Amino acid sequence: MGLVRFLRGAKLLGQTHLMEGETLVEHAILAGVKIATNCTSGNCGTCMVTLVEGEVSLPDPLTPGIYEELIEDGARLACIGIPLSAADVDILPPL
């Protein structure tokens, strides 16, 4: 199955087993990691994180909270992004 790991830079903040259909925010809560949220629908971008490794779903069509250039840098919206594989996620957005 695999793990979803939450990092801040190189520091591991927490991890949990991959749970099908659960968002990154839901995984983070179970891992004891706080990710800021606001709208919980992908519109504001408050929950933006950086996917370091693995696969996390993207909204189709893209919501106002994210755009192609950020996606290329690993950006994902934790409130609606669902891990599709084991994943390493930096809780900070891409620079």
Is 95 a residue whose pLDDT tops 90? no
Q: What is the dihedral of CA 23, 28, 29, 33, to 10 degrees?
A: -160
pTM of the shown model: 0.94
| All domains of the chain in start order, with CATH | 3-81 (3.10.20.30)
- Would you place residue 45 in the very low, low, confident or very high pLDDT band (cuts 50, 70, 90)? very high
As a whole number, the mean pLDDT across the chain is 96
| Separation CA 37–CA 46 (nearest Å) | 5
Is 90 a residue whose pLDDT tops 90? yes
- Would you place residue 16 in the very low, low, confident or very high pLDDT band (cuts 50, 70, 90)? very high
Whole-Å CA distances, 86 to 11, 39, 57, 64? 18, 26, 12, 26
